[in-house]
Structure 1
Amino acid sequence: MSTPAISVRGLRKSFGATPVLDGIDLDVARGESLVIVGGSGTGKSVLLRCILGLMRADAGTIRLDGQDATGGAPEAFLRRFGMLFQGGALFDSLPVWRNVAFRLLHDGMPPNEARARAVAALAAVGLSGRVADLYPAELSGGMQKRAALARAIAARPSVLFFDEPTAGLDPILATVINRLIREQVTALGATAVTITHDLTTVRMVADRVALLHDGRLRWTGPVSAFETSDDPHVAQFITGRADGPIATLR
């Protein structure tokens, strides 16, 4: 079997006396789209930050393309990943094309070439070239999310991370963003990790699903088996019942 793009073993992270990740074992195959689901505060974002080296785990190992990344992602990997942040995280002071081409410009690509790449990335997510010279504040929320997705794919990465990609969007725009994510992941042949609590994102984006609760992965499997699983954690998450193994505020 080929080496996983991402491999996590025994990952633990606590904040004070509160454990957030409690021994996570997870592999993401090359070219696979994995969606990690769970309620708010279950550790999804912490897991993502540990994988990217933005946060140091207390214990365990992380390997990216077979290389030890426990102390931080290797430079070679960082040059090959793209990320869509939950809030978009566009720079207000830069026009859209410079936002999209930010990494390309940082890496020394000539501005005219970087702009052309940015316009192509914007077109790939359904935004016209006239958007390139606007500023983020001049865009609607849905357009800002598309521009952020364009930035994530502009460098043609081999690994993509999506942090709650449909947060704050209405159902129609959420469907548009999910479809664009699936299309771009397929077009790039990229490995993708998405964290969400949105079942529509699961259905449209995932090849495989992992459910995280109370610091542990409670279920992993193909998306085709997710909604028919008899696992009590999965069943409660899908139905939204208050009663079950996933503790809720009462």
Structure 2
Amino acid sequence: MIRLCDVHKSFGGNHVLRGVDLGVERGQSMVIIGGSGTGKSVVLKCILGLIRPDAGRIEVDGRDVTQGDRDDFLAKFGMLFQGAALFDSLPVWQNVAFRLLRGRGKRPRAEAREIAVEKLRRVGLGPEVADLLPAELSGGMQKRVGLARAIAADPAIIFFDEPTTGLDPIMAGVINELIREIVAEMGATTVTITHDMTSVRAIADRVAMLHRGKIRWTGPVEEMDAARDPYVDQFISGRAEGPIETLR
């Protein structure tokens, strides 16, 4: 479903991606791990076409991401942003239905609201939440609204950017469980970037370790702990000592 071949990207003298090769099968949950500043978010932006790679090729569903109609291409995607990234001035249901109220796939307002309420129900929020503003919700509820928005248009591909950041361990577990259930129901292809190893173990089918602009290791999540790569071992164990440089 998603294929990156020898992808490079630099910003001035900062070489962020140095030849990334990665494949994500249809219906698979891929989680990309790695330290801050290793280029995880840049990978997502390159797949979406928000950033053009300096070299290499990226295909989504067999199509070069730089070719064809952008609206049709982006319609394949849903996104759960870090921090939920809700629109403060819009009520919850309009946040969820944001895509449904705009563009080529625009739905009648009443229909869009009905879909939004159903997606809110799917993430555990009742219809009474629909007309509230984001500021009236807890952090965990805001994250659920962000998840409802990500699935509102039934996308084929969903990106999750640090889905449990800022949540307590119990709410993080709830979000992880919701993500796993919803992705399985939809049959969506997903790519998640996270530092949270609990999330990795909860939602991943496969894991890729990105370090210094290259994929150091990739494999099934159940093989991660036995991986003999020293970068993976240091990262998942959280040790200060190892090949990954740390500030002291």
Taking structure 2 as the reference length, the TM-score comes to 0.96
Residue 32 of structure 2 is aligned to residue 36 of structure 1: yes
Q: What is the aligned-residue RMSD (CA, Å)?
A: 1.2
Match of 2:2 among 6, 15, 21: 6
CA shift at 1:72, angstroms?
8.3
Identity %: 65
Following the alignment from structure 1 to structure 2, what is the Cα–Cα distance between the partners of residues 21 and 73?
26
Question: What's the secondary structure of 2:113's corresponding residue?
Answer: helix
Question: Aligned match of 2:57 in 52, 61, 67?
Answer: 61
Q: Does 1:77 align with 2:73?
A: yes
Taking the aligned partners of 1:108 and 1:53, their CA distance within structure 2 comes to 23
TM-score, structure 1 as length reference? 0.96
**CA shift at 1:70, angstroms?**
3.7
Q: Does 2:23 align with 1:27? A: yes
Look up the SS of the partner of 1:105 in the other structure: coil
* Offset, 1:73: 7.7
Please state how far the C-alpha of 1:14 moved relative to its aligned partner.
1.1
Instruction: Give 5+ residue unaligned stretches, structure 1.
Output: none
Residue 150 of structure 2 is aligned to residue 169 of structure 1? no
Tell me, what secondary structure is at the counterpart of 1:249?
coil
How many angstroms apart in 1 are the aligned matches of 2:43 and 2:151?
Answer: 22
Secondary structure class of the residue paired with 1:133: coil
Residue 74 of structure 1: CA displacement?
Answer: 4.3
Letter in 1 for 2:106: G
Partner of 2:231: 233
What's the CA shift for 1:76?
2.5
Q: How does 1:142-221 map to 2 (within 5 A)?
A: 142-221=140-219
Instruction: Note if contact 1:104-1:114 (Cα within 8 Å) is conserved in structure 2.
Output: yes
| Cα distance, 1:170 vs structure 2 | 1.0
Alpha carbons of structure 1 residues 63 and 228: separation in structure 2 relative to 1, 3 Å? same
Q: Deviations over 1:63-100 (max 9, x none)?
A: 11101114688433311210001021111111000000
Unaligned runs of 5+ in 2: none
Stretches of 4+ moved more than 6 A in 1?
none
